[in-house]
Structure 1
Amino acid sequence: MTTELLTERLLLRGWQESDLAPWAAMNADPQVREHFPGLLSRAESDASVARFQADLERRGWGWWAVEVRASGEFIGFAGLDPVEEELPVEGVEVGWRLARSAWGYGFATEAGRAAVEFGFASLDLPEIVAITPVGNVRSQAVMRRLGMTHDPADDFEDPTVPPGPLRHSVVHRLRRGDRPG
């Protein structure tokens, strides 16, 4: 059964058919995909939703669709996922990706906080990590707002990304005992 998370303004939930078109639009937006190797086709975007939903159904957690509670508008995704095996970092990662129309309202921080709290309270994780290209200063600001810290010794060249500026990744960490509040 898929867990849903409620915040003051957001619902993190399983994926719906109605999410496919706006998700595909996000994945075709060069600004939303600025810190990724490329844009996604509609088929690639739809396939990602199928993977996300399968993970949610299998584990009960993962990359949730994010909806604004007041309007029912789908604005992106957020959640937790095991770090890819190819990376030199282990554990569970928190992440988010929102439509440009949802930027600047604190939604990424709100959704990220809900995911982190779920990870510590329900999954009993000792630590949660966040990984992003060094140039993604917006996401790094969210990581700091979540209480995460960066140690340059953890940074790495992402072997899953073609050579170039997106390959250098930074890692932020939050250990259970270090979280704010």
Structure 2
Amino acid sequence: EHDKTVAIVNSPTYAWRYLGLIEPDGTPTRRGMIFSFFHGGEGLAVAVALEDETYPIDELVFDLANIRAGPRFAGEDAPLGGRLGILCQRIYGRADYPGYLSMGVPVQYGAGASEVVRALVADPRSKHKLTNELLRHGDIERALVEWRSILRHIVLAPAYPLSRWTELKAAAEELVDKTASPTSAVDLATLVTLQQRAVGK
């Protein structure tokens, strides 16, 4: 007879099984392999998007911007919305795993950033049209930096025998090459001068 005084806790193995990362015998699933290429819960979102054959790669590559966006871009819309957020909640329910998922989506997820990033890629001069009382230039630049960071991570991630993963890596590389980081345009000499003035005040 088992010891009834021992508390049942959600072990890592239980979480991996619940999230579909391993088979009953402990072998990593395809989802588990894609998850392993990322930090935190980001790979959970990417993996389920790749599993959905109806999710176009050319849409997903922009929707990745939502993964680290936070709630600021959503405005009056649902912060966990967007196709990627809805898909995550459908697959993972409203699971909470600290550092990985909150309400079924990656912990820093926020809808709305993908539309802003897509607009900026189409017309880099449109940034001033996208700001409002809640959304500042700094928020947009941070979203771009984080999005490009995710794209670079995907480009440098290992190859895996899954055609949609290969397509995503190619799409990510193309966008990294054709877009500039907001920080690359900063004149470092001017920045140092401004910092020295600020310190001197």
Q: TM-score by structure 2 length?
A: 0.26
**Structure ID, larger Rg:** 2
Normalising by structure 1, what TM-score?
A: 0.28
The structure with the greater share of residues assigned to strand is 1
Bigger fraction of residues in helix: 2
